[in-house]
Amino acid sequence: MSKEHVVRNYIAGQWRTAEAQGFLDVENPATGEVIARTPRSTTTEVDRAVAAARQAFPAWAHMSVARRVSWLFRWREILMKNEEKISRILVEEMGKSLSDARAEMKRVYQNLETACAAPMLQQGSKLVDCAGDIDGEEMHEPIGVFAAITPFNFPAMAPFWFIPYALATGNTLVVKPSERVPLTLEAITEFLHELELPPGVYNVLNGDKDASIALVNHPDVKGVSFVGKTDTCRIIASRCAELGKRCQAMGSAKNHLVVMPDYKQIDELIRNMSTSCYGCAGQRCMASSVIVAIGDAMYERISATFVADSRKYRVDNPLNPDVLEESLVIGPVISAQSQAFIHSMIEIGVREGATLALDGRGIRVPGCEKGHFIGPTVFTNVRPGMRIHQTELFGPVVCIMKAGSLDEAINIINNHPYSNACSIYTQNGYEARKFKLNVETGMVGINVGIPAPVPFLPFGGMKSSMLCDIKMQSRSAFQFYTHNKVIVERYWPTE
């Protein structure tokens, strides 16, 4: 890639140079190098993409669902064959480790696989004789053109929370990837292009906030999926509601890990937690960033051991050949702006009185002086209500807290502004059940640091971490992308 490369839009089955009102740099966050430019597509360009999707809708909607998914089967196959190529592009523009990129691709395939089940999962139901000689039927119909506006941290997986299901169910789609990481989806789309999907069924539109706003407001867009910050979610969800559109809006997170006082397998525990905290440099909505130890003894032990383990991570350019196949690698955060924000929050944490047990600032990665690196950072003595506890940082910064009991830990979680996910470490069936029934988060782990559901189960938070009614993945995705029309039918005897 190079700064000469202008990312293309994919509209109506054709690659095209966007009609743009300007361009944004795509950076390799490990080197600061500009590797491409994202066009800021104009409203006219948005109209073009939506029009293509709208035109493609009727024929696609009325095609047999088994035929529709045949393209998904083939897309899955071709992406698997090109996993390595795509993963490298992903690493280059996003900065996560190669093993994280490969793991992300697995979720792409699994979302495709789940959508391939559409001939089973989109079936409606029928009640013969729902009343005297009258039959009732519930159909799951596609709705029309959808838009998906996806974030920078999962350049491959995030679009695939939407594409496979939207297409399988008979809708058509415009995807707007993050302007920071447009290259992965461009590469993925190249492979789809070979498969001769009917033009307009799937479209990629590059751009920034203006394009997103235009998509949300476009009268022919019948539903919007968005993953980003909670504040943006509120605006989009509210606007969609007013316009009568379907909406998925997945927001911010701050995920807690609770350790019971008698937990035995400390080595597995620590590594399980640090993997959750430092993977993708902490830039995952499922990353954990708060550890709550129950009792003094466990708190002391965790604090010491976690810091020691954190030191084992290597901060580096993930494409450095030395670390390419390593797992304990932390790459850069996405941008200088993000790095500066995290630095300022570390500053605030210190001022709030938390103990900065490990300071990741000021890391130097040789040859990557312009990269946006932050090393593993650990605060101990964190108390609920501190800003470092209340704020989503999206970096490799961990807060360690103490609680007197499981109930107290549950309260900390339930009183937090974000409610995406959390986990407990315990071998005790009673405590595990109590935790899972009482925490108010959308996803819950038992001895699992990253309780991200496989696509065969729904994905989404609760309360302010999900500003909508229907989750992503699994049966939920089928609900989101279909309208359940009801038919009430009777025939009079002919005579």
Catalytic residues: 285
> Which residues pair with residue 10 across a beta bridge?
15, 204
CB 107 → a second copy: shortest distance, Å? Answer: 11
Nearer to a second copy, 4 or 495 (CB): 495
Distance in angstroms (rounded) separating the CA atoms of residues 379 and 218: 45
Look up residue 135 and give its amino acid.
D
Residue pair 144/54 in contact by the 8 Å Cβ criterion: yes
Of the candidates 181, 242, 193, 198, the one whose C-alpha atom is nearest the C-alpha of residue 217 is 242
Distance in angstroms (rounded) separating the CA atoms of residues 96 and 394: 13
Nearer to a second copy, 23 or 154 (CB): 154
Tokens of 143: 């709705």
CB 221 → a second copy: shortest distance, Å? Answer: 13
Report CA-CA distances (Å) from 469 to 19, 207, 225, 272: 35, 27, 12, 31
Which residue bears the tokens 């570390």? 346
Residue pair 108/79 in contact by the 8 Å Cβ criterion: yes
Report CA-CA distances (Å) from 272 to 5, 257, 281, 309, 448: 40, 10, 15, 11, 7
Nearer to a second copy, 43 or 275 (CB): 275
CB 395 → a second copy: shortest distance, Å? Answer: 24
Nearer to a second copy, 381 or 447 (CB): 447
Nearer to a second copy, 340 or 488 (CB): 488
- What single string gives the DSSP state of each residue in 69-117? HHHHHHHHHHHHHTHHHHHHHHHHHH---HHHHHHHHHHHHHHHHHHHT
Contacts with 202 (C-beta within 8 Å, 6 or more apart), sequence order:
10, 163, 167, 172, 173, 175, 189, 192
Distance in angstroms (rounded) separating the CA atoms of residues 76 and 54: 25
CB 44 → a second copy: shortest distance, Å? Answer: 26
Contacts with 329 (C-beta within 8 Å, 6 or more apart), sequence order:
97, 313, 314, 315, 316, 318, 323
Distance in angstroms (rounded) separating the CA atoms of residues 292 and 303: 10
Nearer to a second copy, 66 or 308 (CB): 66
Burial of 492 (0-12, 13-18, 19+ CB in 10 A): exposed
CB 39 → a second copy: shortest distance, Å? Answer: 31
CB 412 → a second copy: shortest distance, Å? Answer: 18
